[in-house]
Chain A
Amino acid sequence: MSTEHHIKLPEGSIEKTTTTLNLGPTHPATHGVFQNIVELDGERIVSAEQTVGYIHRAFEKIAERRPLYQITTLTDRLNYCSSPINNMGWHMTVEKLLGLKLPKRVDYLRVIIMELARISDHLICNSVVGVDSGAFTGFLYVMQYRELIYEIYEEICGSRLTTNMGRIGGFERNFSNAAWEKLEKFMAEYPAVLKEFENLFTRNRIFMERTIGAGPISGDRALNYGFTGPNLRAAGVDYDVRVHSPYSSYEDFDFEIPVGSTGDCYDRFLVREGEMWQSMRIIEQAYRKIQDMKGADADVYHADAPEYYLPKKEDVYTKMEALIWHFKIVMGETQIPPGEVYHSVEGGNGELGFYLISDGGRNPYRLHFRRPCFIYYQAYSELTQGAMLSDAIIVMSSLNLIAGEMDA
């Protein structure tokens, strides 16, 4: 891949006065594969061009060949730092298509998982901003608590990172005692850790001087570029899908949306910190609501939808109807209404949307993922215009670019 066609010569000159530097696709600090070809005038960036697609895995093409319940594994690998959010978003899209209503307890369980995933994602982003500015300690401290979040996922679905969690219609099993104990341990210990992590960075003079003023963007430009999520909120616009189009009973929870002002790296860091505190608040409220449920409600973990939710294996082996439903669901004989639906959730990076067109068959006719990282990476050249090279690195890590979501 030659870079000659990226070089822009100044008007009327026959030789270059700027240096071309190739940032990526292999990055330090394990950022993920995307490339940036920058023109440098000394230390300042004159122009930049981004190229992506180094991990294009053709999710949308693969999704046309998979039945709806097998696409969950593909959605895991979009924003893999917070895969449960992607899974739940997909399940909700299909439930919207099918017209399934879920019991409240399932919604609250989903909220707990999604907020844990959001904390996990923001922890990676903020600690990697620290690593990129030279502070490795914060990363090591918070990775311990990410390990605890992984253990909670393991108790629920068996897997740490690419979780494939839940089913269309709820969860595959109720949360075990071990899962609740680990969640309680997390709720008890994590706030102190987050406070310690904050103390390392938020009023740290070196960190503030590195990040304040690096890569600012105004609210208007951010909206025009299609920003969503913490990056948009840092620019001053309070758009959060959980509040604007509440899904999974988010309207029952009381939380705030942290909003920044200048949209630079420091604001993005603070917005993510604030969101982690709000996520803890939501988890505590959901936990209390679930503990308060009594009687039959307290054991529900899936919707009553035998046409779409696989029956229990004991029933499949002993009861006839369960066997028939199992066969129909797996072989694709269930009624999927044809139609098109767009559903979005607030992912770790913003509005993660699923545009699903179904023709009534087992596989989608067309599935498109509205991926926030892909859409806001376009703005990178504008964000780093005239900045120094080290600012460009910090901007890249503070935007939380996840290559899996960018290329899909």
Chain B
Amino acid sequence: MAIAIKNYSRATEYNNIMALTNETIKERLIAKFADQLSHFEEPYGLLTFEAPKELNLKVLQFLFDDEELRFRFLTDLTAVHYPGGVGRELAVVYHLHNLVDNIRLRFKVFTSIGQPDVFTATQLYSSANWMERETYDFFGVNFVGHPNLKRILNVDEMDYFPMRKEYPMEDQTRVDKDDAMFGRGDLPAAASTGPVETPRAANEPRTPASGTPGEPGQKQDWPSDTTKIS
């Protein structure tokens, strides 16, 4: 597919030839998808809307193929956790960009945290590959059809999804930082009773990878007391 980017270097020229506006995009989307899309807003000038999660690929494909809309660049793919919305806790947010007419778009699909399945966009955009892996790593969104959905930034053995709101930022097993000095005096006790998705208690030391690269079987023993080290 040929990319028709004209070699202008002044943004004003873009603005003059830009015939595509947020209203036009909204009309085209409503014409195609009727009332399945909702929550059309324009926070800070960026058209934002919500689609049901079954339609996310259809919306992306429509925006890609349409000769007037031409949203052929996936700027960003991420998720947000809203623990309050029952049945719609995880929102997957797509930011798209039409480079020729210089318009951006954002759309969201909501999914429930019990069954967080969303269709993958990797067939259409190769850049979605790692962005979806990152979203899975942080929030647990299961992208159906992804070629390689596994953890990317965190350790492979991690068994929970850290960006969800119920998990604390700090590592609960660290011994060298005194939470009282950091203004979090009662946190260790609270964390051990907080919601933990795995059967292991929050204050049990996490065992690191059981083999160093090249030397399988050698177990690292994290010292429990750093004062012993001379």
Contacts and interface: CB of A to CB of B under 8 A. Distances in A.
B114 interface: no
Contacts of B151: 53
A282 B225 CA distance: 55
A370 interface: yes
- Chain B binding surface, main DSSP class: loop
B99 A52 contact: no
Interface in A223-252: 223-226, 237-239, 243-246, 251
A407 interface: yes
B199 interface: no
Interface in B94-115: 95, 99, 102, 104, 106
B80 A61 contact: no
B5 interface: yes
Interface stretch (B20-28, B29-37, B123-131): B123-131
A1 interface: yes
A251 B15 CA distance: 12
Contact residues on B (Cβ < 8 Å of other chain), bracket: 35 or more
B10 A353 contact: no
A89 interface: no
B216 interface: yes
Nearest to A61: B169
Given A53-B153, A223-B72, A226-B125, A58 B9 contact: no
A226 B96 CA distance: 11
Contacts of A246: 11
B106 to A, nearest CB: 7
Contacts of A3: 213
Contacts of A355: 76, 78, 93, 95
A56 B3 contact: no
Interface in B114-151: 125-127, 129-131, 134, 138, 151
Interface in B144-182: 151-156, 162-163, 169
B201 interface: no
A378 B127 contact: yes
A218 B216 CA distance: 42
A342 B95 CA distance: 9
B209 A56 contact: no
B40 interface: no
B85 interface: no
Contacts of B61: none
A379 to B, nearest CB: 7
Nearest to A25: B213
B196 interface: no
Interface string A366-385: 10101000111111000000
Contacts of A51: 152
A257 B10 CA distance: 10
B10 A341 contact: no
A224 B125 contact: yes
B43 A1 contact: no
B74 interface: yes
B211 interface: yes
A102 to B, nearest CB: 16
A96 B125 contact: no
A190 to B, nearest CB: 24
Nearest to A377: B130
B44 interface: yes
A2 interface: yes
B218 interface: no
Q: Considering residues B46, B75, B78, which has the most beta carbons from chain A within 10 angstroms of its beta carbon?
A: B75
Contacts of B156: 1
B123 to A, nearest CB: 11
Interface in A21-67: 22, 51-53, 56, 58, 60-62, 64-65
A220 interface: yes
Nearest to A357: B80
A256 interface: yes
B169 A2 contact: no
A219 interface: yes
A299 interface: no
Contacts of A60: 138, 163
A2 B213 contact: yes
B101 to A, nearest CB: 10
A45 B132 CA distance: 27
A238 B102 CA distance: 12
B76 A370 contact: yes
B12 interface: yes
23 contacts: A1-B213, A2-B211, A2-B216, A52-B153, A56-B153, A61-B169, A221-B126, A223-B73, A224-B125, A226-B75, A243-B9, A244-B102, A245-B102, A251-B10, A255-B9, A257-B9, A342-B46, A351-B75, A368-B78, A370-B95, A374-B130, A376-B127, A377-B130
Given A1-B213, A344-B75, 19 more contacts: A64-B169, A96-B44, A223-B3, A223-B72, A223-B73, A226-B74, A226-B125, A226-B126, A237-B99, A238-B9, A239-B5, A245-B102, A341-B43, A374-B130, A374-B134, A378-B127, A378-B129, A378-B130, A379-B126
Nearest 9 pairs of A and B residues by beta carbon: A226-B127, A53-B153, A56-B153, A370-B76, A368-B78, A378-B130, A366-B80, A225-B126, A224-B126
